[in-house]
Amino acid sequence: MGLTTGVAIYLTIWWVVLFAVLPLGVVSHAEAGINKGDGGDPGAPVDPKLKRKFLTTTWVATVIFAVVWAVLHFGLIQLPPIRDPYGAG
């Protein structure tokens, strides 16, 4: 796996994990019993804790990427080579 492929795989894993982590522990204004007044969305989170979620996303994605890298590096799964559909290579 090259550097560019590794970065692309890591970023893909990071975004998927982020969207899995975002809803964890969220309490909306409606659930907390806080009136948002005019124009406020009652479904908006009271305290989204984004820094904590970004850090959690980063370490979980790193662990998952390490497993993917080890599987590919040690040949536990063989990926087929990418072929040019136009026959130029």
User: Could you tell me which of 12, 8, 21 has the C-alpha nearest to residue 57?
Assistant: 21
Q: Encoding tokens for residue 17?
A: 């994990």
Query: Coil, helix or strand for 12?
Result: helix
Could you tell me the pTM of the whole model? 0.77
Instruction: Give yes or no for residue 89 having a pLDDT over 70.
Output: no
CA distances from 86 to 5, 72, 79, 81, 83 (A): 22, 27, 20, 15, 9
> Do the domain assignments include residue 35?
yes
What pLDDT score was predicted for residue 29?
A: 84
What is the span of the domain harbouring residue 63? Answer: 3-73
Instruction: Give yes or no for residue 84 having a pLDDT over 60.
Output: yes
> Do the domain assignments include residue 47?
yes
Number of domains in the chain: 1
> Do the domain assignments include residue 67?
yes
53-79 pLDDT, tens digit each: 999 999 999 999 999 999 988 989 887
